[in-house]
Amino acid sequence: MNRFPFRIDGRDGDARATTLDLPHGRIQTPVYMPVGTQAAVRSVHPRLLDDTGTQILLANTYHLSQRPGEKLVAKAGGLHRFMGVDLPILTDSGGFQVFSLEKEVDEQGVRFRYEVDGKPTVLTPERSMEIQQELGADVAMVFDECLAFGTDKGYAADSVERTTRWEERCRLAHTREDQALFGIVQGGFWPDLRKRSAEQIRELDFDGYAVGGLSVGEGHATMVEVLDWTTPHMPQDRPRYLMGVGRPVDLVEGVARGIDMFDCVIQTRHARSGVAWGWMGRVRLTDSRYRSDLYPIDTRCTCSTCKTFSRAYLHHLFRVGEVLAATLVSVHNIAWFHQYMAEMRTSILEGRFQSFREKAHETWPAERQEKPRKGKPRREDHED
Contact criterion met (CB below 8 Å) for 267 and 333: yes
Q: What is the pLDDT of residue 116?
A: 81
Domain extent listing, the chain: 6-264, 270-366
- Rounded Cα–Cα distance for residues 56 and 80 (Å): 11
- Rounded Cα–Cα distance for residues 182 and 39 (Å): 20
The model's pTM is 0.95
Contact criterion met (CB below 8 Å) for 354 and 346: no
- Rounded Cα–Cα distance for residues 225 and 222 (Å): 5
- Rounded Cα–Cα distance for residues 339 and 152 (Å): 40
Q: What is the pLDDT of residue 369?
A: 47
Burial class for 308, CB neighbours closer than 10 Å (0-12, 13-18, 19+): exposed
- Rounded Cα–Cα distance for residues 52 and 65 (Å): 28
- Rounded Cα–Cα distance for residues 305 and 327 (Å): 9
Q: Which of the four pLDDT bands, split at 50, 70 and 90, describes residue 97?
A: confident
Q: Which of the four pLDDT bands, split at 50, 70 and 90, describes residue 383?
A: confident
**Mean predicted confidence (pLDDT) in 141-163:** 95
Residue with the bigger pLDDT between 61 and 383: it is 61
Interval 285-318: pLDDT, tens: 999 999 999 999 999 999 999 999 999 999 999 9
Interval 185-222: pLDDT, tens: 999 999 999 999 999 999 999 999 999 999 888 999 99
Residues annotated catalytic, as ranges: 92, 263
Q: Which of the four pLDDT bands, split at 50, 70 and 90, describes residue 329?
A: very high
Closest to 271 (Cα-Cα) out of 210, 216, 323: 323
- Rounded Cα–Cα distance for residues 179 and 22 (Å): 8
DSSP sequence for 129-153: HHHHHHHT-SEEE----PPPBT--H
Tally the C-alpha atoms within 13 A of residue 227's C-alpha that lie toward its C-beta. Answer: 28
DSSP sequence for 37-75: TTSS-TT--HHHHHHHT---EEE-HHHHHHTT-HHHHHH
CATH class of 6-264: alpha beta
